[in-house]
Structure 1
Amino acid sequence: MRALPPRPVPRLLLAVVLVLGSAATSCGKGAARQAGEGAPALRALSKSPTPPGAVSIATKNTIRLGGTDAASDAAAVARAVYPGLTPATRPQAIVLVNERSWAASLAASVLAGVPLGAPLLYADGDSLPAPSAQALGALHPTGSAALEGAQVIEIGTSAPVPSSLRVRQLALGSEPGGDQAAAISAAVERLLQALTGRTPRSFIIVPSEAPRSLQMPAAGLAAESGAPILLLGARGLAAATSSVLARAHRPSLYLVGDSSLGASARAALASYGRVSSASSEAGANRPAGSHEGADAVKNAIAVSRFGRGAFGWNIHEAGHGLVFASASRPLDAPAAAPLSAHGDYAPLLLLEGAGSVPPALAHYLSDIEPGYSAAVPPVRAVYNHGWVIGDESAISAHAQAEIDAALEVAPRSPSPEEAPPAASE
């Protein structure tokens, strides 16, 4: 087990490169609509996937995507996953979600997984931030046959999009008693069911009253697993949630950020299916002086380690992609969800502050550190790779350098199975 390098950071070549950071409906029978007048025109296919704008830092084991805000981060991730230069690098559809609605943003993360594989972009209410507009003009979605050719799915927003794109708005409905989060997540589940043609057998249950930093890992888990997120309100199971679970006929229910969930709520969930916690108890009985950020770090690690059969990341060894984000920027979790369902399928890990890697995360990275030996040389070893989300106000260059060092493949002693046989007399 190798500790992270202490301050000051050893000399590390940081290559400053231009990356993709600046680009940083009802699921029923309604037809997709054409974008209305006043929407920006779709630009011609770009000759380069790298737009002008923010400068980011890449190291040998990490790449930084994004900028100063969630819209920039989402656009950068979208452009990294889908450069849009060939038919194979164009998405079927793009999800455009209102960043002012945390429930919509988190629930929409599942759409980054199969079968839609949609990148997520942010609207600001009914306006379109510049990074989102640039990405919409560059991704060139092909259209989803399951959604009548829709190329953009708007959730909680009516922001104008390029006039040549077909748009479907997701009708969010309402919930008696005002539990809008439950209604939103149920609407996304219905859309997912329309896409797959079947009822989900697994669900991710997230208490909407939990700190958002504890809810963040659900985004990547939903994208990777294809299990929709259902948000559980303070009053317990809303009618919309109960309806979804009853229709699923005893599904598996996986809790994330559930440390404050009461016994009655757990019992109510258990009446609909088998309940397991993918999370930690970091938020329960917190000792004096503990911080929400530290709880969030441990919670994300617990979700990364969790596995039940085929469900969950179950990461206890080297050979994985990893997403690193700030616990203080919750919207970066849905923004980064496509990285959990494409490429090296990376779970979300969190830093509680921008300056350095927290001890709990350092320990986890040491546990899954890649290694090589005389029997398994570096060229035959497995590797870890990190995606760093946001600018240096989210995760500093120093912290990125620490992450880079922790991900580096290192020498180790061969196991008994790898040891060469003793020479005979």
Structure 2
Amino acid sequence: MSSRTSRSPSARAAAVALAVALAATAAGCGRAGSSDTATPDRPKIGVKGDTGSAADLGFPVLATKNTTRIAGADPIADAAAATQIVYPGGPAGARPGAVTLVDSANWQAAVAASVLDAPPLHAPTLFVNGRSIPAATGKALTALAPTGAKAAAGAQVIRVGTVARPAKLRPTDIKGGSPAAIAKAIDAFATAARGKASRRVLVVTSEDPAYAAPAAAWAATSGDPILFTGKSHVPPETISAIRAHDKPKIYVLGPSTVVTPEVTKELKGLGKIIRVGGQNPITNAIGFATYSDGDFGWGATTPGHGLVMVPQTADPATAPAVAPLSASGTYGPLLLLSAPDTLDRDVGGYLKDIQPGFDQNAARGFFNHAWLVGDTKAITAGLQAEVDDNLETRPIATKNAG
């Protein structure tokens, strides 16, 4: 669909190579005071066979044949790595028009701001600590060198809330108090940039980030805005924002235990309401990954997909930090992992369902790839190996085989 406009070919080709270099250097360089402990997981470039061990190259922890790890210690580092993977720099086509700056402590603003990475803005999120710019973010801003977004009057930085203002970059501001108010303001900004309101909106909880997380990846891909609700009451700012879309389809993400029927009753009359997801954070993400309604939704039920996997216990801002990975390259939904060393049965079953196969020539088949977000404490090397195995394309047994 048109909203899935790909980044430049050079960006896609460079993604995995950049990831291996950036993933480890991002670790520990987010918040001030983070320690950077050198380990064999940290890659070295140019190692010769007679001068260093294979471990110095960072494999298999940073990358396997079907997975690539972003090993940041926090969302600040993860976002710095993800944006540079997607926008490796060089010519203007491999650099973003603008970059969105969000306070790392405000996960709701970060989730809602994911929509700004979609066309026409292509403004991925980087994090600041209030008025201060962390080292990883500062280095990323320099490397990205945003060109200026035409759809945002040439702004190079979109500041969401009261956050730091980088020197020598043209800013524009989006302001709002509550999560619902900031989401409404972001939606209005994206609508103005696009020139028309989206015919679809996502309504998610502002109280439980695990249920809201999958929306960030889709918003960054599609340009469908994310609006917030409480468990049993819809804020007036959200109702006002939906009205501006003139009876859109309203996709409510999450079970009725998280977004209750009282919410859907309040939304009645504002548009067609469709509930999507599952009964817990893991199945909710899978349910959203497999759902489709026309050109809405990933519909990832067959082989040949990119996936982004984030620990359920990660910082709530992690999902929007890596949303650009879902909106470029291999594209793909976000999945959650509940334990660092064990593959969830539901996730494993889903991976088996979409596992690629071939009957004669593997090179002509489909392939899956997963981005894993977190260090080896968050996602162990053993779990990474298990995910890799579940993504591997395999020969298909036929009736005439043998």
2:172 pairs with 1:201: no
Describe how 1:225-374 pairs up with structure 2 within 5 A.
Answer: 225-234=222-231, 236-260=233-257, 261-280=259-278, 282=279, 295-329=280-314, 330-374=316-360
The whole-number CA distance in structure 1 between the counterparts of 2:380 and 2:256 is 30
Is this contact kept in 2: 1:325–1:390, CA < 8 A? yes
| Residues 116-145 of structure 1, C-alpha deviations (whole Å, 9 max, x = no match) | 122211111221111111101100111011
Other structure's SS at 1:59 match: coil
| Residues 6-42 of structure 1, C-alpha deviations (whole Å, 9 max, x = no match) | xxxxxxxxxx953345356xxxxxxxxxxxxxxxxxx
2:386 maps to 402
Q: CA deviation at 1:77?
A: 0.4
Is this contact kept in 2: 1:23–1:51, CA < 8 A? no
Is this contact kept in 2: 1:21–1:73, CA < 8 A? no
Give the number of the structure whose residues are more often helix, by fraction: 2
The whole-number CA distance in structure 1 between the counterparts of 2:313 and 2:66 is 24
The whole-number CA distance in structure 1 between the counterparts of 2:20 and 2:163 is 35
1:118 maps to 123
Is this contact kept in 2: 1:81–1:338, CA < 8 A? yes
Is this contact kept in 1: 2:79–2:125, CA < 8 A? yes
Q: CA deviation at 1:247?
A: 2.1
Other structure's SS at 2:84 match: helix
Is this contact kept in 1: 2:70–2:371, CA < 8 A? yes
More divergent stretch after superposition (57-66 vs 258-267): 258-267
Other structure's SS at 2:77 match: helix
Q: CA deviation at 1:93?
A: 0.4
Is this contact kept in 2: 1:117–1:341, CA < 8 A? no
| Residues 245-280 of structure 1, C-alpha deviations (whole Å, 9 max, x = no match) | 122221001111243222221122121011112211
Is this contact kept in 2: 1:66–1:76, CA < 8 A? no
Find 1:382's aligned residue among 366, 374, 377: 366
The whole-number CA distance in structure 1 between the counterparts of 2:347 and 2:317 is 20
Other structure's SS at 2:173 match: strand
Q: CA deviation at 1:358?
A: 1.1
The whole-number CA distance in structure 1 between the counterparts of 2:239 and 2:270 is 8
Describe how 1:159-178 pairs up with structure 2 within 5 A.
Answer: 159-161=164-166, 163-172=167-176, 174=177
Is this contact kept in 1: 2:116–2:220, CA < 8 A? yes
Is this contact kept in 1: 2:113–2:186, CA < 8 A? yes
1:30 maps to none
| Residues 198-237 of structure 1, C-alpha deviations (whole Å, 9 max, x = no match) | 011100000213x211111111121122110000124622
1:105 maps to 110
Is this contact kept in 2: 1:93–1:152, CA < 8 A? yes
2:16 pairs with 1:18: no
Is this contact kept in 2: 1:107–1:185, CA < 8 A? yes
Find 2:180's aligned residue among 174, 179, 182: 182
More divergent stretch after superposition (263-272 vs 402-411): 263-272
Is this contact kept in 1: 2:165–2:171, CA < 8 A? no
- Calculate the TM-score normalised by the size of structure 2: 0.83
Other structure's SS at 2:370 match: strand
1:155 maps to 160
Other structure's SS at 1:215 match: helix
Is this contact kept in 2: 1:181–1:233, CA < 8 A? no
The whole-number CA distance in structure 2 between the counterparts of 1:63 and 1:188 is 31
Q: CA deviation at 1:87?
A: 1.6
- How many residues are treated as equivalent by the alignment? 353
The 1:368–1:105 alpha-carbon spacing in structure 2 relative to 1, beyond 3 Å, is same
Counterpart residue type for residue 380 of structure 2: S
1:138 maps to 143
% same residue: 39
2:84 pairs with 1:86: no
More divergent stretch after superposition (149-158 vs 305-314): 149-158
Is this contact kept in 2: 1:73–1:335, CA < 8 A? yes
The whole-number CA distance in structure 1 between the counterparts of 2:99 and 2:338 is 30
Is this contact kept in 2: 1:326–1:394, CA < 8 A? yes
Q: CA deviation at 1:66?
A: 3.5
Other structure's SS at 1:393 match: coil
Other structure's SS at 2:339 match: coil
More divergent stretch after superposition (197-206 vs 123-132): 123-132
Is this contact kept in 1: 2:232–2:261, CA < 8 A? no
